[in-house]
Structure formats: structure tokens, C-alpha cells
Amino acid sequence: MACLPEGMSKRKRLYTAGLAGLGLIILVSIYKCGFRSASISGPEDCFFCDFANHRPSSRGPNPNLEVETEEYVIFKDKFPAARHHYLAIPKEHLESFSVLNRSHLGLVQRMELGMKELFKSKNVDPNEAIIGFHIPPFISVKHLHLHGIYPASDMNVLNKINFFSSFWFKKSEDAIQDLESREL
């Protein structure tokens, strides 16, 4: 009889520890994001705008572009979570997924398509890749960027949490569905 409540409280303790751990990870992420983006206030002060528009940046040499169109560019993430980790960013300064409306639907669809085509050109099945946006305040840079990552098996636990479909990371297909329901 005494066994049951004890077992339950053990489970409860494990559950609480798990929740506390997750909370800590989220706090650290917010702190890191705030730290990395603290110096950016607008397009004139944004190194992603510099990258996308071929302007010299105060952050050292600009990354080599894997893809460039009139609207967006794609390059390798400076802190890759896996063997393949790319960022697609618009040339226009848009702060994050949260500021987008339905008029941005086409742009996001074309960025997603560009990311998928890039994966295909690297002999990676785009359906196997993780493609999506971080949602504020869980953003590392205040300029809209679509992540494309493969393979998931390369990712450590922290990255798996960081890019886990959730309220802090929206997969591109969910993002497109969300934009379809927004106002113009």
C-alpha cells in the first residue's frame, strides 16, 4: 500500500525536474537571443541587411551566398546545428515572422521553395529537412530568417529542443498556413 504514493511522488519529482530543466533552457535561449540582437535597432544597423544587399558589415566578411534572387538570399548558418544548416533571408528588412501579414505569403512560399531546391541540389530530400522560423522572443537576429537543417541525427539535445516544432519554432508549412489566415 505504501509503495504506490511513494512511486507517484517519485514520478512527480522527475516531472518537476524535467519542467524546471526545460524552463531553464528557454530562459537561457531568451537571454542569448537578447544578447546577440541587442545592438540591432533597424535596417541601417542590421548585419543581415548588409549580407543580403552586399554591403560591408561590421561583423567581418559577409558569408558566401548559396542562392540569390531579387527578393532573398540563402547562405550557410555561422553556427550550424547539423552538416547542412542554411538561412534564407529577405533583402527587405522584416523583423520577424510576427510582423508579417498575408501580403508576405508569396515571399515566404518562394523562400521555402528556394530552400527546398537548395537541398535538392545537395542531394538531400527536402522532406527530410527541418525548415522553419523561430518566433519572437526566441529569435537570435531581428531580421526574418528561415532555417533549413539536415540531418536531424547530427543535432545535439539543445538544438533538437531549439528547432522542435513548438510555440518557439514554426515549421514552414505551418507558417504558410498561418499567413493564409492573416489580414492583408
**Interface residues with Zn ion (CB under 5 A)?**
43, 46, 48-49, 93, 134, 143
Q: Nearer to Zn ion by C-beta: 93 or 104?
A: 93
List, in sequence order, every residue forming a beta bridge with 73; answer none if it has no partner: 68, 89
Alpha carbon distance 179, 100 (integer Å):
8
Residue whose CB is less far from Zn ion, 49 or 111: 49
130-134: strand order across its sheet:
65-68, 72-76, 84-90, 146-150, 130-134, 169-171
Shortest Å, Cβ 62 to Zn ion: 13
Asked about 134 being catalytic, the answer comes back as no
Contact 135, 168 (CB under 8 A): yes
Q: Measured from the CB of residue 15, what is the shortest distance to Zn ion in angstroms? A: 29
What is the spatial distance between Cα 119 and Cα 85, in angstroms, rounded to a whole number? 10
Q: C-beta of 183: minimal distance to Zn ion in Å?
A: 24
Cα 153 to chain center, whole Å? 18
Rank residues 119 and 163 by Cβ distance to Zn ion and give the closer one: 163
Q: Least distance from C-beta 159 to Zn ion, angstroms?
A: 11
Shortest Å distance, C-beta 102 to Zn ion: 21
Task: Given the residues 85, 134, 145, 147, select the one marked as catalytic.
Answer: 145
| Residue nearest to Zn ion according to CB distances in the complex | 46
118 vs 130 by CB, closer to Zn ion: 130
DSSP annotation of 128 reads G
- Cβ burial of 49 (10 Å; 0-12, 13-18, 19+) is buried
Q: How many CB atoms lie within 10 A of CB 138?
A: 18
Name which of 181, 167, 122 is nearest 149 in CA terms: 122
Nearer to Zn ion, 16 or 69 (CB): 69
Residues designated catalytic: 145
